[in-house]
Amino acid sequence: MNTIPKKRWLYAIAGVAVLLFGGLVYAWSVLAGPIAADFPDWTKAQLSLTFTLVMIFFCLGGLIGGLLSGKVKPQVLVLASAVLFAIGFFLASRSETLLMLYLSFGVLCGLASGFSYNAVMSSISRWFPDKQGLISGILLMGFGIGAFLIGKLYQAFTPDTTGAWRTSFLVLGGAIFVVLALCAWLICRPTEQFTVPAEKKAAAFEELSSKDMLKRGSFWLFYLWAIVLSAAGLCIVSQASGIAEEVGKEISGGTIATVVGLISIFNGIGRVISGWSYDKFGRSFTMQADNVAFLLAGGVLIGALITNSFALVVVGFALGGLAYGGVPPTNSAFASTYYGQKHYPVNYAIINTNLLIASFGSTIAGALYDASGSYRNVFFLVCGLAAAGILLSLGISLLDRRKK
């Protein structure tokens, strides 16, 4: 019998909760502030390496989770993630050396985040074969705004005193463990009896293994698209505080922080909109809309610098957040609709490795600013990357037409 159980939304809520806390590692810039104050001899570059390690081991954890998905239940991976987070935050709270910080937060918490991310995305998405884009957007909204919301709580409840961050880390580690351990039991895959009406099911083009996926031109064009647009997003995120402070010289620090935070808020909104768009209008429209959003964001921010308009900064950050938020759910929906659900856990994890390359976007943006003393070149780069995204998306459309 073709039925769509309402309980799948309960599983989705549990998935959002897991990703909300699992995405806390992305709040490193906020978490690192009090640590830097306690260890003034540690340079920004040394502390930034912690987040680089998080990114590397997040991708590695996702790949390991994908490879294990056919052998262990997703609940096991989420529970393993809970344990790794608890140990990682505990050891980080005891850190007196950079090496300990790297191993605890960078390696253990990075792996933990990758495990929970892959377990949730690869299991909960199977309950929504009729809404692959929307469910990806909803789940990833939790991952996107978790760092912002919990990071704000961390700032609010961490006293500005030496060592206070250590207690906050212990509390965060305990909270993540409890939430993930409780929600793990609702992170499950549907049985073989689960079906949806054929007219509602979003059929994949084909079922491909990772080996076969890597032989397809569509994969490489999309992978490059994910790299250039993720890099464009990181260019905006990494320079947001600087441009807001430069244009808003008379604006208070609190207002500046709120405006920069708009990027995270609209990032979460953009994930849901993009996922819904993928289901409603398809891959080509969604990718090109994201490309255009980045073009507009870059253009508006250039205009903000030229006219010294803080209002344009606000608009540019909102557009940039929406555009950046559109990338992850498109990655997920593309993996499932182009290459199927059978090998989705590994295929999606492979697509996510684009972050390892895209993460250099913030480094390049910083170098451009250092070389010119202006943010204009940074946003010209954003526009250039968006233009490249348009061409790459058109390339995928061309390959699609040749297959028909």
pLDDT at residue 404 is higher than 70: no
pTM: 0.84
pLDDT band at 110 (very low <50, low <70, confident <90, very high): very high
Contacts of 147 by beta carbon, 8 Å cutoff, 6+ apart: 23, 24, 25, 26, 27, 30, 264
Question: What is the third-level CATH fold of 8-198?
Answer: Growth Hormone; Chain: A; (1.20.1250)
Q: Which residues of 232-248 are buried (b: 16+ CB within 10 A; e: fewer)?
A: bbbbbbbbbeebbeebb
Per residue in 137-194, pLDDT (tens digit) is 999 888 878 777 887 788 788 877 888 899 999 999 999 999 999 999 999 888 765 6
Confidence of residue 1 (pLDDT cuts 50, 70, 90): very low
User: Looking at the predicted structure, is the pLDDT value of residue 199 above 50?
Assistant: no
The proportion of the chain whose per-residue pLDDT surpasses 90, expressed as a percent, equals 55
Tell me the backbone φ, ψ of residue 350, rounded to 5 degrees.
Answer: -65, -45
Please give the Cα distance from 74 to 89 (Å, whole number).
22
Q: Looking at per-residue confidence, does 159 or 309 come out higher?
A: 309
**Cα separations in angstroms, 218 against 186, 274, 303:** 34, 20, 35
pLDDT attached to residue 23: 85
pLDDT tens column, 49-60: 888 888 889 999
How many Å apart are CA 342 and CA 196, to the nearest integer? 17
Check residue 354 and give its pLDDT: 92
Percent of the chain with pLDDT over 70: 95
CATH number, domain 203-403? 1.20.1250.20
CA–CA dist 279, 343 (Å, integer): 20
Q: Which of 64-73, 96-105, 194-203, 328-337 has the lowest mean pLDDT?
A: 194-203
The rounded mean pLDDT for the chain is 88
On the question of pLDDT at 136 being above 60, the answer is: yes
**Helices 132-157 and 253-281, interaxial angle, to 10°?**
170
Domain ranges of the chain: 8-198, 203-403
Fold match flag (8-198 vs 203-403): yes
